[in-house]
Homo-oligomer: A and B are copies of this chain.
Amino acid sequence: MTKSQALQSNLDVDYVISYRFAKTADKSRAIAQFEKLCEAIAHVGLQTEVRNGDSHSVLLFVRVASDEHLYGEVYRSRVRDWIHGVRAAAPPKETREALEAEPLYEAERLRIIYQLITNPSSEGGAAITPKEGEWEGVESIFALHDHAYNKDWIKKWTSSYFLKTEDLDDIRNRLGEKIAFYFAFTQSYFTFLMFPAAFGLFSWLVLGYFSPIYGVVSAVWCTVFTEYWRHQETDLAVRWGVRGVSKIDVRHRDFAPEKTVTDPVTGEKVGFFPSSKRFQRQLLQVPFALTVVVCLGTVIATCFGIEVFISEVYNGPLKSVLVFIPTGILTTVNPILTTILTQFATRLTQFENYETQSAYDTALTRKIFVMNFILSYLGIFLTAFVYVPFGTIIVPYLDVFNVAVRPFAEDEKQLHHTSTSSWSINPDRLRKQVIYFTVTAQLVNLGMELIVPYLKRRGFAWFKKMQSERAAKNGTASASIAANDPPEDAAFLERVRKEAELDVYDVNTDIREMVLQFGYLSLFSVVWPLTAVSFLINDWFELRADAMKICVEMRRPTPWRADTIGPWLDSLTFLTWLGSLTTSTLVYMFHNSNKGPDGNPSNIQLWALLLTVFFAEHLFIILRITIRHVISKIDSPGLQKERRERFMVRQQYFEENLNSLNKLPTLSGSGEEINRKSLEEDARESSLRATTPESRFWSRQRDWKESAAVAKSLIEKAHFASSPESKKEL
């Protein structure tokens, strides 16, 4: 098999399980554990093949033993969906028929097999949990890339300006709904960006910076986009048949019940953890948030202070070198702090002890959003709302840094120059900072996403090459891993070993990146209206780069289902709302001079500022209600499809039940006149026989004709009677 052939075919392999035994000191335990693994896998109906992996690992290839087996599993999964309300109608009971009507797509197949491997045995899975508990040796479970498809995908995308819904369907079929939702979101965002990009350009040319008109348009756009996406998300979920999957409760693996209670609903014994206790634990989020603000805030504010001092106040020696100090601190301290805080957030979320996976994810995402919010926006907030208005008051205090600088001073005179008396704030600082975050940082980020994994991969390959060369020199066997391969599988196995070394793709990181980008637009784009232009260009590449990243830099991701981008939607809503506050404040402060209050807070009329913000916020809230209302009226193919399906099901039920209904006597319907009449007759006759007041009351008139006749006489009499009276009254 040649190398290109190896890339063409996956040899029917569904999943590869990489088992690393180096960590297990005891050889026999490793062997026993692997035997257990093979048995567990075979037990759920999967076929196995073992090949040699990289140093100290074994690769277990897995495929479904027979299609009939898989179909049963697919049917079970679909019935479960139907019962949870994800599907409107139950799947046909004949499996073959069901699969013909609705063919299995690749992501569904891979998801089902993955669940078969990892689900607990109570749910019919093999309960293999990578890197956890007894399966610590299982390093990863991954599917193999479909290189032919990937090549086509990248080629198609890099040669087209827009992605169509079919392209998204394609991703969904291959990589699952969760990743497809990320691409759909980014594509929607990209399309929507065209308007603010165009208007931003116009605004930049005609209206200038800090234009209130731009501010209003931008706020409207952000709201429309957020609400449109909320609508679009539902539509896509229906299109992909996953609406409601987020409501299927998947138990969180680490959930530790406090006690066992009998579920009042199902009557089963279930683990129980009181919400009140969880709420108490959730209150720890407040000190956590404060810690995050203080830790990250201190670092950022200190660096900000040093930077302002060095670049604007200080003009002693080594200025050109010292300028890089804050960047140095930020790039070293921040990642460390972030890692520590993320670990802390994870621990805290685990401590909060959520029962379901989705609740856990939501809670963790919220915490991560808070951290990223501070990391991304605090710098600009400091410039806009501290440096510019309070600069002249605060900057003199930055002289404390003089102490640190003193050793470098060549003579006293230089230090004297650093006095802040002649200092005035740098009016361009805010704009430069926004441009840095919206252009430079985005580009750097995009580059990093592609280049860092590439370098990592290269470095790793080089290291291994060196190692094996040395080993070859020493004549040890570890160099001969590939040499032991059957020659016809060699190329294929080499490829698999490479894929096993790749990183795991986390779609949340990419969504987060987009949401934070949206934040710059919503919060600060009034500072520099070209923001959207930069994002538009960036995101065109971002979409393609992410596709490439998934294909080349990452292991093939396990396809998961989702019906939303999750709690990030709340983050979007929050950022839009906060944007109404920041935009109005910025417009108020900077609109006249383009320079802001020149570091002197007395230049701001606080009441006018607050009044502006107050009105802006409430107008925004009204606007959002209106836009949400209008968008909710938009009908979409997805929603129509859902309604149609539900209608069909309802109609079917109705017909089934109406059959039995028709046997019941009906009250209406003209065909049963006689029957009804005879019934009335019966009722009347039985009444006559009895002598209760009721029966006497109801027995006076035989049927409706008699009633009408009585009424006729009454009306005639009344008319007769009233006529003379009315005459008299005249």
Binding site for B on A (CB under 8 A): 1, 5, 9, 11-13, 19, 21-22, 27, 30-31, 34-35, 38-39, 41-50, 52, 55-56, 58, 60-61, 63-66, 68-73, 75-76, 79, 83, 90, 93, 95, 116, 121, 124-125, 264-266, 275-276, 279, 471, 474, 476-478, 486, 488-489, 492, 605-607, 610-611, 613-614, 630, 633, 640, 643-644, 647, 650-651, 653-654, 657-658, 660-661, 664-670, 676, 679-680, 682-683, 693-694, 696-698, 700-701, 703-705, 707-708, 710-712, 714-722, 724-725, 728
Q: How far is the CA of A19 from the CA of B70 in the complex (A)?
A: 70
Q: Nearest Cβ in chain B — how far from A30, in angstroms?
A: 6
Q: How many copies does the complex hold?
A: 2
With CB as the reference atom, state the residue of chain B lying closest to A34.
Answer: B711
Could you tell me if A44 and B667 are in contact, using CB atoms closer than 8 angstroms?
Answer: yes
A30 neighbours in B (Cβ, 8 Å): 715
Q: How far is the CA of A47 from the CA of B11 in the complex (A)?
A: 79
Q: Nearest Cβ in chain B — how far from A21, in angstroms?
A: 5
Could you tell me if B661 and A711 are in contact, using CB atoms closer than 8 angstroms?
Answer: no
Q: How far is the CA of A650 from the CA of B90 in the complex (A)?
A: 12
**B71, B488, B614: the one within 8 Å of A614 (CB):** B614
A476 neighbours in B (Cβ, 8 Å): 721, 724-725, 728
Could you tell me if A714 and B44 are in contact, using CB atoms closer than 8 angstroms?
Answer: no
Could you tell me if B667 and A70 are in contact, using CB atoms closer than 8 angstroms?
Answer: yes
A-B contact pairs, 11 of them (CB 8 A): A27-B716, A38-B708, A38-B711, A43-B668, A43-B670, A49-B697, A60-B707, A60-B711, A65-B676, A610-B611, A614-B614
Could you tell me if A21 and B715 are in contact, using CB atoms closer than 8 angstroms?
Answer: yes
With CB as the reference atom, state the residue of chain B lying closest to A56.
Answer: B718
Q: How far is the CA of A1 from the CA of B697 in the complex (A)?
A: 11
Q: How far is the CA of A253 from the CA of B146 in the complex (A)?
A: 59
Could you tell me if B38 and A647 are in contact, using CB atoms closer than 8 angstroms?
Answer: no
Q: How far is the CA of A305 from the CA of B131 in the complex (A)?
A: 79
Could you tell me if A9 and B693 are in contact, using CB atoms closer than 8 angstroms?
Answer: yes
Could you tell me if A49 and B640 are in contact, using CB atoms closer than 8 angstroms?
Answer: no
**B50, B474, B657: the one within 8 Å of A79 (CB):** B657
Given A72-B667, A90-B653; 10 other pairs, CB 8 A cutoff: A13-B697, A34-B715, A49-B698, A58-B714, A64-B667, A69-B667, A69-B676, A124-B667, A607-B610, A614-B614
Could you tell me if A474 and B728 are in contact, using CB atoms closer than 8 angstroms?
Answer: yes
**B48, B276, B653, B710: the one within 8 Å of A701 (CB):** B48
Could you tell me if A666 and B72 are in contact, using CB atoms closer than 8 angstroms?
Answer: yes
With CB as the reference atom, state the residue of chain B lying closest to A684.
Answer: B47
A9 neighbours in B (Cβ, 8 Å): 693-694
A633 neighbours in B (Cβ, 8 Å): 275-276, 279
Could you tell me if A93 and B660 are in contact, using CB atoms closer than 8 angstroms?
Answer: yes
